[in-house]
Amino acid sequence: MAATALSVLAAGGLAQAQKVDLVNNEKEKKVEVKIDGKAFTSYFYPGEDKLKKAVLYPVQTAKGTLITRGWPLDPRPGERVDHPHHVGIWLNYEDVNGNDYWNNSDAVDHAKRAYGTIIHTGIKSMKSGKDKGELTVTADWKDKNGVLTLQESTTYHFSGKGDQRIIDRSTTLTAVLDEVAMPDIKDGMFAIRVARELELPSNKPEIFTDASGIATKVPVMNNEGITGNYRNSNGVEGEAVWGKRAVWCNLTGKIKDENISVAMIDHPKNVGYPAYWHARGYGLFAVNPLGMKALSDGKETLNFKLKKGESTTFRYRLVIASEHLKDEAINAIAADYAKTK
């Protein structure tokens, strides 16, 4: 089949693009995103007393099924209760001038490590549309002492066709200090924490340790209804996708009677393309373009830095489908995405 025909199929078949409405709910500190009149997600910025960054939360399929974990904001029965900083969809990094933006939450001891906070500073623009919605927001990355380190400008594009939903995120980070160092480290950068049903079945307990030696125990749990599996653009499957480079990675599973794909796609203009993947069986699904040394077992090193006034942009596409997307379909979506700025 021709690539153009595949692209049409990959974008939701012959279905028409659906209307996207953005609603600013200032009281609840969120911008609600509705596609075809149905709730999809919200840009949620409750403030640092509740979350240490803004997130997209919750996230639903076109059929209304929640694909993001509810805990700690809205706990659901049977969920894991590890990693309280894993909420919805987010973008941050574990080491920015020695401050950890990834692991920050009210559950950590702030006296033992320097933690940074990403503070929502405004909604720059918000546009609903017959075939897409666009939201541009700004944020300040501040270190443990409140010193401004990076300024962020992020634009989201939301769209839907048929039983597919697409989020394009473009985040530009600009250095404010003389030098901003983002050395190679494991925890980053664009990520989603998925619902329990989309985790990979586990047969042993795990202990995950961060850069400060702080351990989080992830116990063996009941695998009934746990259906997730990863597959990347090179055909690697399961937990073996962790620490591998790939253009995209696809998480498939089933919630009740609905087949679901969550496909994350890298962009060729990003630093480190194609990036390494930090995708875990317990429901953390992340792409990390900067953590080369940690994710390649020391075979590669990047040690990314920005000088004052310099910027870099990270671009990612997330496709949420009420079907199990095939490699060919995701390749077509990725090819279309690569043409975007």
pLDDT, tens digit, for every residue of 313-328? 999 999 999 999 999 9
Structure tokens at 213: 């030696």
In tens, the pLDDT along 292-312 reads 999 999 999 999 999 999 999
pLDDT digits 0-9 by tens, 169-208? 999 999 999 999 999 999 999 999 999 999 999 877 777 6
Q: Which DSSP letter does residue 135 get?
A: E
Label residue 98 left, alpha or beta by phi (over 0 means left) and psi (-120 to 50 means alpha): left
Chain segment 43-62, per-residue pLDDT in tens: 999 999 999 999 999 999 99
CB burial of 270-308 (b: ≥16 within 10 Å; e: otherwise) equals bebebbbbbbbbbbbbbbbbbbbbbbbeeeeebebebee
Return the higher-pLDDT residue of 210 and 155: 155
Half-sphere exposure of 100 (CA within 13 A, CB side): 20
Whether the CA torsion 118, 42, 79, 224 is positive or negative: it is negative
The structure's pTM equals 0.93
- pLDDT at residue 220 above 90? no
The percent of residues in the chain predicted with pLDDT above 70, rounded, is: 94
